[in-house]
Amino acid sequence: MFVMITEPQLEEMIKAAKDEAKERKFKQSFEIIITFKDIDVKKGFAINEVVQLPKTSSPAAVCVMATGDMSVKAKAANADAVIGTDELDKFAANKRESRKFINKYDFFLADTKIMPVVGKVLGQLLGPRGKMPVPVPYDAPIESFLQRFRSSIKVRVRSSLSLACKIGDESMDDKDLAINAYAIVSAVEKKLPNGEKNIRRIMIKTTMGKPVKQVQEVKKKFA
Nearest alpha carbon to residue 168 among 28, 38, 1, 6: 28
All domains of the chain in start order, with CATH: 7-57+154-213 (3.30.190.20), 62-149 (3.40.50.790)
pLDDT at 8 over 50: yes
3-state SS record for the chain: CCCCCCHHHHHHHHHHHHHHCCCCCCCCEEEEEEEECCCCHHHCCEEEEEEECCCCCCCCCEEEECCHHHHHHHHHCCCCEEECHHHHHHHHCCHHHHHHHHHCCCEEEEEHHHHHHHHHHHHHHHCCCCCCCEEECCCCCHHHHHHHHHCEEEEEEECCCEEEEEEEECCCCHHHHHHHHHHHHHHHHHHCCCHHHHEEEEEEEECCCCCEECCCCCCCCCC
pLDDT at 93 over 70: yes
Distances (CA, A) of 197 to 3, 167, 170: 8, 23, 31
Q: CA–CA separation, 193 vs 104, rounded Å?
A: 34
- Please give the pLDDT value at position 2: 57
Q: CA–CA separation, 158 vs 176, rounded Å?
A: 28
Evaluated on CA atoms 94, 96, 100, 102, the torsion sign reads: positive
- Please give the pLDDT value at position 57: 85
Q: 82: number of CA atoms within 13 Å, CB side?
A: 18
- Please give the pLDDT value at position 167: 96
Single pTM value for the model? 0.85
Complete edge-to-edge strand list for the sheet that includes strand 29-36: 162-169, 29-36, 199-206, 212-213
Mean pLDDT in residue range 197-215: 91
pLDDT band at 52 (very low <50, low <70, confident <90, very high): very high
